[in-house]
Structure 1
Amino acid sequence: MSFRKVARVPVHTGPAGWNSILPPAAPRAALTG
């Protein structure tokens, strides 16, 4: 996953916000590149 696409998600949403938009594994995959 590209960081640019992830950057579109507001940081203030937190993990809960990420999980509601993306699969649970997505954030970790994005952080690891």
Structure 2
Amino acid sequence: YFIGEVLDITGMLGGYNLHFAFVSALKVASALKNS
């Protein structure tokens, strides 16, 4: 949620870009796990 709000990504589905939400969550979780 935080990354989406900071980047302010607007998708074609009324602002809800689910692909970006899932991919960014995976990237953040992976980065947190590796740090």
Shorter-chain TM band: 0.3 to 0.5
Q: Which structure carries more relative contact order (alpha carbon 8 Å, separation 6+)?
A: 1
What is the TM-score of this pair, normalised by structure 1?
Answer: 0.32
What is the TM-score of this pair, normalised by structure 2?
Answer: 0.31
Larger radius of gyration: 2
Name the structure where helix makes up a greater proportion of residues: 1
